[in-house]
């Protein structure tokens, strides 16, 4: 097990550039299965989940050239479908959430898909109903095999139809769109997820020859085409990294510039950090967070205590609530954090409480944070990273705390944050990977 040892309390300084977006990469890399032609993908983050997905493609016989760590050229012209049913695939794909998005392209191109019980963050129940019901609406038959733990999907033919999703699932929408692009006739998906990564996927598919309209809205119309060809695609900056770095700067009272932050794709993210009282300047596509001795949480307009909650795009992403929570612990004022989507994502607050933060975990979904207003610093402790975002939230807490912290299970952080220790060291952080 890898460990970070952090000596906190140091101000950081300098520039940091966000990696290519993890959750976009998982969709985009799955989409290479839709064509026998070459697809070049740039700005790929060098992180565990994405590398595992690329490895899985390699084991499926997809040809992969990697001219550098950030670029891959894929060619899926001789896919070994049987591999998807193997023990090896089951074991490896079960380690990440993203592998579930092989199902849409496989159904689309080969009329057959297997989905093992997917992995990813253990942050509560993560159902696949939206995906499976969407595939069924397109004409696929679905069976669940209790013995091998696989969902089996098969279709003689995929036929476009109208569907109203039960919820705007992100990976579910990506999967259904990829299944529908080569179905016969027109598919209409209402209540579709519409976050920038879904938009990126749709734009890429359109460049490959798909006919998707309504991109950016929750009503997607897909006219089926016979064939998709090759393309080139570049990933957006990772908005969750951008939010994490804003939080890092505020917590450590540092002056940090986030370069090429992809401002036009951040939605409400900067506003949410502003509600915590964090000052920011926008220069071109950069965000400058000035050193701030104290930040004060705003109230709602009627003076009542602020609540921050997650909501499907264009609402606030659940992946940044852990970061917002940790940043609030040192603010002046109070905020209620309401994690609506996932039921096990707030338990890491126990560790923050051990560090000296004032938090009341009201129930699995809600935590009230009473900011310390820098009256008292957090103390370094030994802790373990439960999931990607809580892991980074704890890392930010450790960097701001007095004394030494030890963070175990940092593989969780490595799943989503590229070379994070080296990048933090470049800002002046005292962090060692043991």
Which residues contact ligand UD1 (rule: CB under 6 A)? 23, 26, 97-98, 125-127, 167-172, 312, 317-319, 341-342
120 binds ligand PEP (CB under 6 A): yes
Q: Tell me if 341 is assigned to a ligand binding site.
A: yes
> Minimal distance in Å, beta carbon 212 to ligand PEP?
23
The count of C-alpha atoms lying within 13 angstroms of the C-alpha of 310, restricted to the half-sphere facing its C-beta, is 19
Q: How far is 338 from 271, CA to CA, in rounded Å?
A: 17
In whole angstroms, the minimum distance from the beta carbon of 349 to ligand PEP comes to 17
Contact 275, 324 (CB under 8 A): no
> Between residues 25 and 250, which has the closer beta carbon with respect to ligand PEP?
25
By the 10 Å C-beta count (0-12 exposed, 13-18 middle, 19+ buried), 401 is classed as buried
Per-residue tokens: 320? 């940044």
Tokens, residue 365:
């979904």
Tell me the backbone φ, ψ of residue 363, rounded to 5 degrees.
Answer: -165, 180
User: Which of the choices ligand PEP, ligand UD1, none does residue 168 contact, using the CB cut-off of 5 to 8 A by kind?
Assistant: ligand UD1
Residues 377-406, interacting with ligand PEP (CB under 6 A): 388-389
* CA of residue 275 relative to chain centroid, distance: 22
Build a one-symbol-per-residue string for 121-140: x at contacts with ligand PEP by CB under 6 A, - elsewhere: x-------------------
Structure tokens at 13: 């300084």
92 is in an annotated binding site: no
Helix, strand, coil distribution of the chain in percent, nearest 5: 35, 25, 40
With binding defined as CB under 6 A, does residue 160 bind ligand PEP? Answer: no
Strand stretches in 224-365, DSSP E: 231-234, 255-258, 281-283, 286-289, 306-309, 334-338, 359-363
Q: Is 319 annotated as a binding residue?
A: yes
Measured from the CB atom, the residue of 224 and 262 that comes closer to ligand UD1 is: 262
Site string for ligand PEP, 64-103 (x = CB under 6 A): ---------------------------------xx-----
Residue among 4 and 197 whose Cβ is closer to ligand UD1: 197
Dig out the tokens for 134 from the structure. 């969407």
Largest CA distance in the chain: 66
CA angle 394, 50, 409 (to 5 degrees): 30
How does DSSP classify residue 81? G
Which partner from the list ligand PEP, ligand UD1, none does 388 bind, CB cut-off 5 to 8 Å by kind? ligand PEP
Give min distance, CB of 319 to ligand UD1, in A.
5
Residue showing tokens 């129940």: 125
- Tell me how far the alpha carbon of residue 28 is from its chain's centroid: 13
Q: Could you tell me the smallest distance in angstroms from the CB atom of residue 23 to ligand PEP? A: 6
Smaller CB separation from ligand UD1, 381 or 414: 414
**Comparison of 196 and 224: residue with beta carbon closer to ligand PEP:** 196
Nearer to ligand UD1, 165 or 399 (CB): 165
66 is an annotated ligand-binding site residue: no
**DSSP-H helix ranges across 126-195:** 129-137, 170-180
* Among 397, 360, 361, 358, residue whose Cα is nearest residue 381: 397
Assess contact for 190 and 218: CB atoms under 8 A: yes
| Residue 167: φ, ψ to 5° | -155, 155
CB of 389 to ligand UD1, least distance (A): 8
23 binds ligand PEP (CB under 6 A): yes
Asked if 265 touches ligand PEP (CB under 6 A), the answer is no
> How many whole angstroms separate alpha carbon 248 and alpha carbon 196?
23
The catalytic site residues sit at 121
Nearer to ligand UD1 by Cβ, of 74 and 313: the residue is: 313
10 Å Cβ neighbour count for 368?
17
Q: Which does 389 bind (CB under 5 to 8 A by kind): ligand PEP, ligand UD1, none?
A: ligand PEP
**Residues in region 278-307 near ligand PEP by CB under 6 A:** none
Shortest distance, position 411 Cβ to ligand UD1, whole Å: 17
Residue positions forming the annotated binding site for UDP-N-acetyl-alpha-D-glucosamine? 97, 319, 341
Residue positions forming the annotated binding site for phosphoenolpyruvate? 22-23
Residue positions forming the annotated binding site? 22-23, 97, 319, 341
State the residues that interact with ligand PEP by CB under 6 A: 22-23, 49, 97-98, 120-121, 319, 388-389, 416
């Amino acid at each position: 097990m890898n460990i970070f040892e952090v000596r906190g309390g140091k101000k950081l300084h300098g520039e940091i550039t966000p990696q290519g977006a993890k959750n976009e990469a998982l969709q985009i890399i799955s989409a290479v299965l839709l064509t026998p032609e070459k697809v070049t993908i740039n700005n790929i983050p060098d992180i565990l989940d994405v590398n595992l997905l690329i490895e899985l493609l390699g084991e499926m016989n997809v040809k992969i050239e990697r001219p550098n760590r950030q670029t891959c050229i894929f060619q899926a012209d001789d896919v070994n479908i049987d591999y998807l049913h193997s023990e090896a695939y089951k074991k490896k794909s079960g380690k990440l959430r993203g592998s579930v998005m092989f199902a849409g392209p496989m159904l689309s191109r080969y009329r057959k898909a297997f989905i093992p019980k997917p992995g990813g963050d253990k942050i509560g129940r993560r159902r696949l109903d939206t995906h499976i019901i969407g595939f069924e609406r397109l004409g696929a038959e679905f069976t669940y095999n209790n013995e091998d733990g696989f969902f089996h999907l098969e279709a003689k033919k995929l036929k476009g139809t109208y569907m109203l999703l039960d919820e705007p699932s992100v990976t579910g929408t990506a999967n259904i769109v990829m299944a529908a692009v080569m179905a016969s006739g027109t598919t209409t998906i209402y209540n579709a997820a519409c976050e920038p990564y879904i938009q990126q996927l749709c734009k890429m598919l359109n460049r490959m020859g798909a006919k998707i309209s309504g991109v950016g809205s929750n009503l997607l119309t897909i006219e089926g085409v016979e064939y998709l060809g090759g393309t080139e695609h570049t990933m957006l900056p990772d908005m969750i990294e951008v939010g994490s770095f804003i939080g890092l700067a505020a917590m450590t009272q540092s002056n940090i510039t986030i370069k090429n932050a992809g401002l036009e794709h951040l939605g409400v993210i900067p506003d949410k950090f502003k509600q915590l009282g964090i000052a920011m300047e926008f220069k071109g596509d950069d965000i400058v967070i000035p050193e701030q001795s104290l930040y004060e949480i705003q109230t709602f307009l009627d003076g009542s205590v602020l609540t921050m909650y997650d909501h499907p795009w264009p609402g606030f992403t659940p992946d940044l609530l852990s970061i917002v929570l940790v940043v609030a612990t040192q603010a002046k004022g109070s905020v209620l954090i309401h994690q609506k989507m996932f039921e096990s994502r707030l338990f890491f607050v126990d560790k923050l409480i051990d560090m000296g933060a004032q938090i009341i975990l009201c129930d699995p979904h809600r935590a009230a944070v009473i900011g310390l207003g820098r009256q008292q610093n957090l103390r370094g402790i030994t802790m373990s990273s439960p999931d990607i975002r809580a892991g980074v939230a704890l890392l930010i807490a450790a960097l701001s705390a007095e004394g030494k912290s030890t963070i175990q299970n940092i593989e969780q952080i490595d799943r989503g944050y590229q070379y994070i220790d080296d990048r933090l060291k470049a800002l002046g952080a005292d962090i060692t990977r043991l």
